[in-house]
Amino acid sequence: MPAVLTVALSLAASMAVASSHREAPFIAGMPRADATDFYMFRSYEPGREKFVTLVANYLPLQDGYGGPNYFQLDQHALYEIHLDNNGDAKEDITFQFRFANANMNDAFVVGGKKVPIPLIINGGAIDDVNPPGLNVRETYTVTMVRGDRRTGTRERIAAPRGAPGFDKPVDNIGNKAIPDYAGYAGRHVHDMMLPGCAVPARVFVGQRKDSFAVNLGETFDLVNYKSPAVEFDPNAESSARDDLADKNVTMIALEVAASCLVAPGGADPVIGGWTTASVPQARGNSPASAGNGNGNGSVGREGGGWTQVSRLGMPLVNEVVIGLKDKDRFNQSRPGDDTQFLTYVTNPTLPALVETLFAGAGVKAPTNFPRNDLVTVFLTGVPGLNQPAKVTPSEMLRLNTAIAPVPKGSQKRLGVIDGDNAGFPNGRRPGDDVVDIELRVAMGKLCTLNLGCAPASAPSGAIRFTDGAFLDDSPFTAAFPYLATPIPGSPQSVAGR
């Protein structure tokens, strides 16, 4: 096989599907535990600037019409958002989410017999929390843990009075079933009190329009970009379609006062964050366990401790940094053990692949090894921006909570490398185009700024690389939970048919 073809196939395989959609062999078979994107940013909703918003997306590539069961999260999984507020690469605060789905066992009387209906909706109104029109009630619990996620001090957060947990809205089935989905979903933004925090937090869990943008099809076709850079094509940044434009995702969103997340005393404003999903160590199937009279039966039995199967901090790490043989290991690892992956950062393969694929355009990979510029972005935080006072090198998203947010409409899509220090890699906002940012950083953009390397080490560092799928803050709202209303299952567009 020609060398260029081999390299192109390797790059396409490593980019997998989007930011973290189906990015490793094992998690590809467990979509309900598959973390797709993680966001952490100072809230830019007017009046909420002293808060930090945390968004963990799961269950990728949802089609709006994906019935009849749609996209419920795993009742037997543990979903977690972890925060390190002292730089030791260990979680100091963890928010744990567990889900439960209750079948209401609605029935129709047919020929004098009461017969359970086959759908998750029954024809009644769906316009409020726990509405009569739903045949399945989805709820979740929130537990806050201080210290180690498994052995630390934990406290379950109180749900609305009398409720089994916080209610989750059903997915956007369609405009006939749910005429005002935005209003309906908005009623599922819940206030809650966290232990040790005097300021109420907010939580929302539910389906949203997928927030990531990426040119997947041409990536898989031997990285068949119309142009790798704006220099070669002035329209390159918007030359390709976003292949997730018609997909939804399930989000877990929290908004917490920044003062309740930083280390006690608030001397260091930098926090690090990452998400995980874990499932029971043992899961077996037994026909005898299916059906228990109330419709809540399962064909599986779970047991044993938790096994972590998904991990996500910085975007695209397990896609274009970690080698294929270690992708599952990365998903099972903790930040404190990241020295085992260090070579992937100090001697990255992506720039070499880009140089090979676009050699005809004169593209050259950086020559500084080890790539200390990438170490600061992915493993320590950037000095003077989001590096903690004391830091243990480890992969996570880091946010300096002392940097003020930028309002929607004024945010720069390329974040820090375009002078917007409230954006990626200082945390990550929904409108930060991390594909373009990371392509440019990988090819030496920081060297041109004398951050960790010299300009001479990055011959192509000033080139504005792009995948052609444009992203900025315009598709998102200016208020929590920020991500857009999901695409409905119906009515479907017939354009192009």
pLDDT digits 0-9 by tens, 437-448: 999 999 999 999
In this prediction, residue 217 carries a pLDDT of 73
What is the rounded CA–CA span in Å between residue 212 and residue 391?
A: 29
In this prediction, residue 223 carries a pLDDT of 63
Q: What is the pLDDT along the chain (497 residues), one digit of tens a residue?
A: 333 333 333 333 333 334 556 565 567 778 898 999 999 999 999 999 999 999 999 999 899 999 899 999 999 999 999 999 999 999 999 999 999 999 999 999 999 999 999 999 998 999 999 999 999 999 999 999 999 999 999 999 999 887 889 999 999 999 999 999 999 999 999 999 999 999 999 999 999 999 999 887 776 665 677 777 888 888 899 988 898 999 999 999 999 999 999 999 989 999 999 999 999 988 776 665 444 444 444 556 677 789 999 999 999 898 878 998 999 999 999 999 999 999 999 999 989 988 988 888 899 999 999 999 999 999 999 999 999 999 999 999 999 999 999 999 999 999 999 999 999 999 999 999 999 999 999 999 999 999 889 999 999 999 999 999 999 999 999 999 999 999 999 987 544 33
Give the pairing type, strands 166-168 and 201-209.
unpaired
Pick from 151, 379, 390: nearest CA to 267: 390
Q: Phi and psi (nearest 5°) for 382? A: -85, 125
For 390-417, how does the pLDDT look when each residue is reduced to its tens digit (9 = 90+)?
999 999 999 999 999 999 999 999 999 9
Domain boundaries along the sequence of the chain = 21-210+247-283+298-315, 212-246+334-472
In this prediction, residue 165 carries a pLDDT of 94
Pick from 383, 263, 272: nearest CA to 338: 272
In this prediction, residue 229 carries a pLDDT of 86
